[in-house]
Structure 1
């Protein structure tokens, strides 16, 4: 991702979803964002239908998009693939910022 994300904000959003969202099978959900945590508590995930964000111990994070492999996307150049994924990530981060602001 081109822009760095503040891990404290991500964890704040996670806590808001966990405390104010509804309980789902493997975690909680607020609006269309779901949160889960590993059994050992060392990592948490935030996700929607297009993007998953894993936040790990020592404040590292990694975004995953629906189509991680550019070779699996037909009729799309590698540049278009990366731009599309970046747009999905930016939209996802915007949703997280809105939750942080509104709750």
Structure 2
């Protein structure tokens, strides 16, 4: 299944998680979503316990999840963060 990702939306949500989330080590957590970068800062990771998203250079991305229901719940959490903060 192909999942379309709006890079601007993701970057906006990532920044809100960093700004309003709780920092633990090099990771930020907000509303059940964890966000962090790799050492060089070029790759972003946004995840919850059931879905992992890796977003990198040239807007390349990869989702890892077991069911479409998990993916839909993950999308709802991202949209909620975007609207709430």
Same fold, TM-score > 0.5, yes or no: yes
How does the TM-score come out when normalised to structure 2? 0.90
Larger radius of gyration: 1
Structure 2, gaps ≥5 residues long: none
Are 2:46 and 2:53, in contact at CA under 8 Å, matched by a contact in 1? yes
Structure 1 stretches of 4+ moved >4 Å? none
The two structures, once aligned, show a CA RMSD in angstroms of 1.3
Q: Which residue of 2 aligns with 1:48?
A: 48
User: What is the distance in 2 between the residues matched to 1:97 and 1:13?
Assistant: 8
Distance verdict in 2 for CA 1:53–1:3, change over 3 Å = closer
SS at match of 2:29: strand
How many residues in Structure 1 have an aligned counterpart in Structure 2?
85
Task: Find 1:97's aligned residue among 76, 79, 83.
Answer: 79
